[in-house]
Amino acid sequence: MSVNVGPLAACCDIGGTKALIGFVDPQGRILARDRYLLGSAREPREMVAELADRLHGLASRADIAWERIVGMGYSTAGMMDVESGVIFASPNQGSWRDAPFKSLLGQALGVPSWIEMDANAAALGEAWQGVGVGADYFVYVVVGTGIGAGILVRGEVYRGWRGTAGEIGHTTIDPNGPLCNCGNYGCLEALASGPAIALRARGAILQGRRTAISELAAGGEITAETVVRAAREGDLVAQEILAQAAEYLGIALANIMTLLSPQVIALGGGVMHGAGDLLLEPIRRAVARRCGSWVDLESRRILLSALGEEAGLLGAARLVWKTR
Amino acid sequence: MSVNVGPLAACCDIGGTKALIGFVDPQGRILARDRYLLGSAREPREMVAELADRLHGLASRADIAWERIVGMGYSTAGMMDVESGVIFASPNQGSWRDAPFKSLLGQALGVPSWIEMDANAAALGEAWQGVGVGADYFVYVVVGTGIGAGILVRGEVYRGWRGTAGEIGHTTIDPNGPLCNCGNYGCLEALASGPAIALRARGAILQGRRTAISELAAGGEITAETVVRAAREGDLVAQEILAQAAEYLGIALANIMTLLSPQVIALGGGVMHGAGDLLLEPIRRAVARRCGSWVDLESRRILLSALGEEAGLLGAARLVWKTR
């Protein structure tokens, strides 16, 4: 089939500050893609109107006839009911509540639409076109500003009752650990997310430890990315901070292995994409130490996401194709 | 239907030292039951022969015609493949490996047979006749000599890849906790199982703490049951030990809520049956402290098993009825 004919899915992955949009064919090829910064217009109807504009503009520039678009897939953070298509609330996106995104999208774009939580969408993308292909039991863990997981069983999202499953970032890893945004102490997110890594680095500097992290930040904000750069340049404090984060991530992944027994765990999100093997290898070693012998780790895989930031976009497209 | 006609399932729940056997009708009524101590005959063929003898004896005493038995359900600890019916190994039951229990049972009893892991069987029983009725997402946690879980999704066991899911007892709850039998440190089982509770009591006595636990054991072995009795009589050390176990169990259950989002969690096993509300109430409080606000705990339930030691027996019977 030519790339100039045939049905296409419109899709987007809405992050905290930017949106990734694109058109994807039934074979998972991204025929066009774009990104834009999310403006201050954060009311649902305005967000959807801007998205429709951006998609029409992209289609026009890529010479894609709008008639080819057969559905829309929308991935975002937040609590939602994917059946009714209502998003109850979304972090960093205004103070609105209970917005009917599925029908707003359908009205604005004129095609059937589906919504999904970002970690679930990334899991669907990775299971469709990435390292989760062929795995009946697959977990995708996103490590970035937050930490979450998408759990797939034979290609279907495991949602749990009322759809709140997968919040690995808020499982307790160290009962005496630091306070988390959620009110609990010692959550994985408070120990190993990007902000947690950055906080640890600032703490080390305040303690007067000898490190090049401040220098690398060059007066800007210290982020997990600064810590990763310092570690790559041999900074011992940065390496120690990442080793600690890897240990906590390893415990969480071992708990997933022990409780859910996936064949493949994929690791994505900004922190993992930035750190790569620097985190992956110590995470694997920690999982091996923390799993009982009956978990046949030699036949299971813990891998970096193959799709990177496109996992969510492809997963959003998958929403369209899997229900047609 | 009279209890004297109609099909029956033969079933058993094989524990570490004793077996519970019975006959159960399609409505979940136990028409006859018995128990026996597992002798030294621990080879699979001998175990099955003894079981067949005991079942025939029980049928005869209860005036149940053997022709009514349409299937056999077998619940036990151990790693197994329920499809092929092979048990790879079972704790406390000899050194055999890879025994084809499903076909051994079929040959000895002349009826189709099914096997299941004990925590899964108890979950199936509780979902059929106990506190899990009607819950699409249901987890049964057994707290006894070991700690394990059966996870049900719409009445089907969640097994994971190669069937090793549900081992909540070997998730890490405290990274710096005590060594577990499995080789890891800080597993729930090393912190809150019956032997862990007893070990903590012996430690308190060795430290010279003021407690009536030794006295209550009256020269016999100190067990979790001794600690529970002492706590009920107001012993502060015993109460502190149980509070600590409840905190760890609460963290594990909060992790289950956060990751798997069940509607109902049932607690069974020897320690829970013995301690009842003494553990249940502090566990519930710990779960509430440890869960994020998006987990709507007020609409979820954490309950003691309603079936007690019959959960596994009924679950074994359920194996017969759910596949007919």
pLDDT in tens, A252-301: 999 999 999 999 999 999 999 999 999 999 999 999 999 998 899 999 99
Q: B137 and A160 in contact by Cβ < 8 A?
A: yes
pLDDT band at A13 (very low <50, low <70, confident <90, very high): very high
Q: Are B23 and B62 in contact (CB under 8 A)?
A: yes
Looking at chain A, the whole-number percentage of residues with pLDDT higher than 70 is 98
What beta strand segments (E) does chain B contain? 8-14, 18-24, 30-37, 69-76, 79-81, 86-89, 113-117, 137-143, 147-153, 156-157, 264-268, 301-304
Q: Facing residues of B152 across strands?
A: B138, B157
Q: Is A5 on the interface with B (CB under 8 A)?
A: no
Q: Are A21 and A36 in contact (CB under 8 A)?
A: yes
Q: A70: buried, middle or exposed (CB in 10 Å: 19+, 13-18, 0-12)? A: middle
pLDDT tens-digit map of B216-228: 998 899 999 999 9
Q: B254 and A79 in contact by Cβ < 8 A?
A: no
Closest CB to B251: pick one of A153, A172, A263.
Answer: A172
What is the C-alpha separation between A298 and A281, in angstroms, rounded?
A: 14
**Interfacial B residues in 77-96 facing A (CB < 8 Å):** 79
Q: A259 and B171 in contact by Cβ < 8 A?
A: yes
pLDDT tens-digit map of A107-140: 999 999 999 999 999 999 999 999 999 999 999 9
Smallest CA–CA distance, residue B89 to chain A, in Å, is: 11
What is residue A134's three-state secondary structure? coil
Q: Are B118 and B169 in contact (CB under 8 A)?
A: no
pLDDT band at B17 (very low <50, low <70, confident <90, very high): confident
Q: What is the mean pLDDT of residues B39-47?
A: 83
Q: Are B305 and B139 in contact (CB under 8 A)?
A: no
Q: Is B202 on the interface with A (CB under 8 A)?
A: no
Backbone angles phi, psi at A79, to 5 degrees: -90, 135
- The 10 Å Cβ neighbour count of residue B60 is 11
Smallest CA–CA distance, residue A278 to chain B, in Å, is: 22
To test the contact with chain B by mutation, choose from A164, A191, A244 the residue with the greatest count of B C-beta atoms within 10 A, namely A164
Q: Indicate the domain borders of chain A.
A: 8-124+310-322, 133-305
pLDDT tens-digit map of B142-175: 999 999 999 999 999 999 999 999 999 999 999 9
pLDDT over threshold 70, residue B2 = no
* DSSP annotation string for A203-264: HHHHTT---SHHHHHTTS---HHHHHHHHHTT-HHHHHHHHHHHHHHHHHHHHHHHHH--SE
Q: Is B159 on the interface with A (CB under 8 A)?
A: yes
Q: Is A172 on the interface with B (CB under 8 A)?
A: yes
Q: A259 and B256 in contact by Cβ < 8 A?
A: yes
Q: Is B227 on the interface with A (CB under 8 A)?
A: no
Q: What is the mean pLDDT of residues B302-320?
A: 97
Residue B151 is predicted with a pLDDT of 98
pLDDT tens-digit map of A178-233: 999 999 999 999 999 999 999 999 999 999 999 999 999 988 999 999 999 999 99
Residue B44 is predicted with a pLDDT of 94
State pTM to two decimals.
Answer: 0.95
Angle between helices B236-260 and B194-206 (to 10 degrees): 150
Number of CB pairs < 8 Å for A and B?
131
Q: A183 and B293 in contact by Cβ < 8 A?
A: yes
Q: How far is CA B16 from CA A204, B31, B104, in A?
A: 51, 25, 20
Smallest CA–CA distance, residue B277 to chain A, in Å, is: 23
pLDDT band at A5 (very low <50, low <70, confident <90, very high): confident
pLDDT band at B1 (very low <50, low <70, confident <90, very high): very low
Residues of A in contact with B117 (CB under 8 A): none
Residues of B in contact with A245 (CB under 8 A): none
Q: Is A135 on the interface with B (CB under 8 A)?
A: yes
Closest CB to A164: pick one of B136, B153, B295.
Answer: B295
Residues of A in contact with B155 (CB under 8 A): none
Closest CB to A171: pick one of B163, B184, B255.
Answer: B255
Smallest CA–CA distance, residue B64 to chain A, in Å, is: 41
Q: Tell me the average pLDDT of chain B.
A: 95
Closest CB to B254: pick one of A163, A172, A256.
Answer: A172
Among B144, B88, B100, residue whose Cα is nearest residue B119: B144
Smallest CA–CA distance, residue A96 to chain B, in Å, is: 17
pLDDT tens-digit map of A46-96: 999 999 999 999 999 999 999 999 999 999 998 899 999 999 988 767 788
Q: Is A262 on the interface with B (CB under 8 A)?
A: yes
pLDDT band at B41 (very low <50, low <70, confident <90, very high): low
Residues of B in contact with A89 (CB under 8 A): none
- What's the CATH number of domain A8-124+310-322, 3.30.70.100, 3.30.420.40, 3.40.50.1860, 3.30.1180.20? 3.30.420.40
- Specify the CATH class of B133-305 in words: alpha beta
Residue A41 is predicted with a pLDDT of 60
Residue A254 is predicted with a pLDDT of 98
Give this complex's ipTM. Answer: 0.95
**Common-topology check for domains A8-124+310-322 and A133-305:** yes
Q: B4: buried, middle or exposed (CB in 10 Å: 19+, 13-18, 0-12)? A: exposed
**Residue A28: partners with Cβ closer than 8 Å, 6 or more residues away:** A128, A129, A314, A317, A318
pLDDT tens-digit map of B259-292: 999 999 999 999 999 999 999 999 999 999 999 9
Residues of A in contact with B289 (CB under 8 A): 184
